[in-house]
């Protein structure tokens, strides 16, 4: 990497000639963490006065987080009394939160509040669809609503800090943590990043139901080599700037109060010790004012990486790079005092780190209101309002991939339905990974939801699992949130259950097969070398289809799976991802037509694992007209394109109209299209806008998403949808000039329902006068 050049030129340098070089783009919404000038001054004065009273040990204490379940956990009371703890992890009992907070506020010397953190990824006690599913809604308001509801629950037990959103771009579905992000596209990822920050932090960060967002994993974690979690990421400067960093920048602009450094090496330098990343980009170029926390023991691991020579060197490199708080390990506490004495770390570096942490606590209102009202959790946890929101959002995130002969929604006069699969009655598995604050007993399974919905109208519901699935190795979350253990322990029992399932299919008018991955098969340390349906699920699916009965495949998953056979032989395929607490009710709503699927894919769906990584924003290269023929032994096109998703109704899009065919760099233009519901039921369509720059200082992707809007139309209804295209969205970081700029020239744009949109127009960007 040309680090010195990058440091000088990322944003704000003037580029000679006609290009328009960008300074930092203002946030579309006022940064929540930054309050009014008067309050910021008050906060600064308060924190500076407190900092002046602190001993060195108390400062290091603020930079230390203890995990409740770690070896340090039992020592927490003693350390809190001495002011040696700034944050606690995994404390979920509001009475215990208040007890520990009382020690800090009433018994410690300086009365500095603790901040309690927890992984509130897609809900707390009430579980919402996983973040990849939220991105499939293509509706930032839906994502914001889910995280607002999650913040309300988490804060009601005293948790005021979440380690979310994860905004890592992921283009390799083998990577287990793809389920925690927004998929492959930086524009969609940026919009979802903003929405989640707004949801967590609310309109006022110091409100009792707001929690501090922590954007992770900075940066490039989603590009792990081979999709193997924790492996290195080797990303070109051009891809890092144009693809991987923009969602982080959007989250910072949205006011995110904290950020987490990543585990892995980024281009040979561990992210947790990468000063260019954590200081030059984050602080100097982006102006981030919040604090940075390490990932779990990632400071200690700098030695494991072969980057640091030992614990003291690891602490020195991390704090000088810009990591303010250490998660769970004790490298800072054990080593920073000597490092400062030796001159390896400046006292001002320690003070700056502590100041940022104290300001976050002040902005959260913890100095003024450190305790949680115990009655709040009794009213908030798994309330009817939470359940209703979870059910609506789960339905809104589902993607209909196939629906031959209008099999869905199911006819209301069905006499019988067979509901088959290993996930039909598993409460944990329908919730998804990172449901650590949830109680499985709260969850409505698929069979429970379908029975409630269809049995009431006289339809007989038959059900069995048919097969069981299990990970090939233990999950790191088995002790905290396990999937059900297999009960079919002999070949005879497995064969009997398989045949029983097919017998039920033969007895029914229609079969609903609920297949996919157990929740332990997706998430952290859950990468895969294949994308096939685990276990004998494929054989079960083929046997069910062979009966000749209509089959609906309901996919439960956190990544694209190999469903190429199903795409040719199964008449209806509905991807519900991991839907959460109200999964069964939401799926029943979708199958019956009480809810209409309107989600769109946030990732390109591969045909086989041999295609990955596959994504729509590829460059034109040498043979742009034959993108489907790059492999001689099969198609190189995705099975389903980015942005794809069907509905129970149909839509038509009219001619694309632009407010101008020539716009100055830095200006905006309107792009309009009439959308009509041409079917017989109400439904949602997502209007998507893509652009391509025909020439410039570097080759640009064949298409890039630059706008979208989800709308609801009644049968026969039409609406003109206008998307505002800001030319700032056309800016890119050029590997030739090493600068961000809007380059004048000719552009194409397309509007449609996925990344293969065909409605076309052209326009020109002219130099700014």
Nearest CA to 355 out of 31, 46, 35, 33 is that of 46
Report CA-CA distances (Å) from 607 to 134, 172, 527, 564, 611.
Answer: 23, 13, 18, 6, 7
Burial of 479 (0-12, 13-18, 19+ CB in 10 A): exposed
Q: Decide: helix, strand or coil at residue 197.
A: helix
Quickly count: other Cβ atoms within 10 Å of residue 706's Cβ: 19
Give every CB contact of residue 654 below 8 A, 6+ residues apart in sequence.
Answer: 673, 674, 675, 676, 759
Q: Decide: helix, strand or coil at residue 451.
A: helix
Q: How many CA atoms lie within 13 A of 333 on its CB side?
A: 19
Secondary structure (DSSP) of 472-527: SS--TTTTTSPPPPP---SHHHHHHHHHHHHHHHHHSSEEEEEEE--GGGSSTT--
Name the catalytic one among 185, 229, 295, 562. 295
CA distance 46 to 63: 18
In sequence order, what are the beta bridge partners of 742?
20
DSSP 234: -
Give every CB contact of residue 495 below 8 A, 6+ residues apart in sequence.
Answer: none
Element spanning 79, H or E: helix 76-81
Helix, strand, coil tally for the chain in percent (to 5): 35, 20, 45
Nearest CA to 685 out of 138, 133, 143, 131 is that of 138
Give every CB contact of residue 102 below 8 A, 6+ residues apart in sequence.
Answer: 371
Nearest CA to 448 out of 427, 417, 476 is that of 427
Q: Is there a catalytic annotation at residue 234?
A: no
CA distance 648 to 719: 19
Residue 436 structure tokens: 């650590």
In sequence order, what are the beta bridge partners of 684?
712
Cβ pair 209, 269 in contact under 8 A: no
Quickly count: other Cβ atoms within 10 Å of residue 746's Cβ: 13
Quickly count: other Cβ atoms within 10 Å of residue 80's Cβ: 24
Cβ pair 563, 542 in contact under 8 A: no
Secondary structure (DSSP) of 245-293: SHHHHHHHHTT--EEEE-SSEETTEEGGG-HIIIIIIIIIIT---SEEE
Element spanning 319, H or E: helix 311-321
Residues designated catalytic: 295
């Amino acid at each position: 990497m040309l680090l010195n050049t990058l440091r000088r030129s990322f944003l704000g340098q003037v580029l000679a000639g006609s290009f328009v070089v960008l300074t930092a783009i203002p946030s579309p919404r006022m940064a929540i963490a930054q309050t009014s000038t008067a309050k910021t001054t008050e906060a600064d004065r308060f924190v500076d006065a407190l900092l002046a009273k602190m001993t060195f040990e108390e400062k290091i204490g603020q930079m230390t987080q203890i995990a409740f379940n770690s070896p340090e956990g039992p020592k927490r009371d003693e350390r809190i009394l001495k002011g040696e703890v700034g944050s606690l992890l995994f404390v979920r009992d509001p009475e215990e939160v208040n007890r520990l907070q009382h020690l800090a506020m009433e018994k410690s010397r300086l009365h500095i509040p603790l901040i309690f953190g927890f992984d509130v990824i897609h809900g707390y006690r009430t579980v919402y669809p996983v973040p990849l599913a939220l991105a499939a809604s293509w509706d930032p308001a839906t994502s914001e609503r889910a995280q607002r509801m999650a913040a309300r629950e988490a804060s009601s037990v005293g948790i005021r800090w979440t380690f979310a959103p994860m905004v890592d771009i992921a283009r390799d579905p083998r990577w287990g943590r793809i389920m925690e992000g927004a998929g492959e596209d930086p524009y969609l990822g940026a919009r979802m990043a903003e929405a989640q920050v707004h949801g967590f932090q609310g309109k006022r960060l110091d409100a009792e139901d707001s929690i501090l967002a922590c954007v992770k994993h900075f940066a490039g974690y989603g590009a792990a080599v081979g999709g193997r979690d924790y492996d290195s990421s080797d990303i070109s400067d051009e891809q890092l700037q144009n693809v991987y960093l923009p969602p982080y920048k959007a989250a910072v602009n949205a006011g995110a109060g904290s950020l987490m450094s990543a585990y892995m090496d980024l281009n040979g330098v561990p992210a947790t010790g990468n000063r260019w990343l954590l200081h030059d980009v984050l602080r100097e170029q982006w102006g981030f004012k919040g604090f940075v926390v390490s990932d779990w023991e990632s400071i200690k691991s700098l030695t494991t990486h072969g980057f640091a020579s030992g614990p003291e060197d690891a602490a020195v490199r991390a704090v000088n790079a810009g990591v303010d708080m250490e998660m769970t390990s004790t490298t800072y506490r054990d080593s920073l005092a000597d490092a400062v004495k030796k001159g390896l770390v400046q006292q001002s570096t320690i003070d700056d780190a502590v100041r940022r942490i104290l300001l976050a606590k002040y902005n959260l209102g913890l100095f003024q209101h450190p305790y949680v009202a115990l009655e709040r959790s009794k009213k908030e946890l798994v309330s009817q309002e939470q359940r209703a929101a979870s059910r609506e959002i789960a339905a809104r995130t589902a993607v209909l991939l196939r629906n031959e002969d209008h099999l869905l929604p199911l006819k209301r006069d069905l006499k019988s339905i067979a509901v088959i699969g290993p996930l039909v009655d598993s409460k944990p598995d329908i919730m998804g990974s990172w449901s650590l604050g949830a109680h499985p007993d709260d969850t409505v399974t698929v069979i429970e939801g379908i029975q409630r919905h269809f049995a009431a109208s006289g339809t007989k519901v038959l059900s069995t699992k048919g097969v069981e699935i299990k990970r090939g190795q233990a999950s790191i979350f088995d002790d905290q949130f396990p999937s059900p253990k297999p009960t079919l322990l002999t070949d005879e029992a497995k064969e009997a259950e398989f045949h029983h399932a097919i017998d039920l299919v033969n007895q029914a008018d229609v079969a609903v097969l609920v297949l996919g991955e157990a929740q332990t098969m997706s998430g952290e340390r859950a990468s895969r070398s294949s994308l096939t349906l685990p276990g004998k699920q494929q054989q079960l699916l083929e046997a069910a289809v062979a009966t000749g009965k209509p089959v609906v495949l309901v996919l439960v998953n956190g990544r694209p799976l190999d469903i190429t056979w199903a795409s040719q032989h199964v008449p209806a395929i509905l991807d519900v991802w991991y839907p959460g607490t109200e999964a069964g009710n939401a799926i029943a709503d979708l199958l019956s037509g009480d809810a209409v699927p309107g989600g769109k894919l946030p990732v390109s769906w591969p045909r086989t694992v041999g295609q990955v990584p596959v994504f729509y924003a590829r460059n034109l290269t040498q043979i742009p007209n034959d993108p489907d023929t790059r492999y001689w032994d099969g198609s190189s096109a995705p099975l389903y394109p980015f942005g794809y998703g069907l509905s129970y109704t149909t839509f038509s899009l009219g001619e694309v109209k632009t407010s101008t065919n020539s716009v100055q760099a830095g200006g905006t233009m309107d792009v309009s299209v009439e959308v009509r519901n041409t079917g017989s039921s109400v439904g949602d369509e997502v209007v998507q806008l893509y652009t391509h720059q025909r020439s410039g200082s570097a080759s640009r992707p064949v298409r890039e998403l630059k706008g979208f809007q989800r709308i609801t139309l009644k049968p026969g209804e039409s609406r003109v949808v206008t998307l505002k295209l800001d030319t700032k969205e056309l800016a890119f970081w050029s590997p030739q000039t090493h600068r961000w700029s809007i380059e004048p020239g000719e552009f194409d744009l397309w509007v449609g329902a996925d990344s293969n949109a065909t409605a076309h127009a052209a326009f020109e960007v002219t130099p700014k006068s």
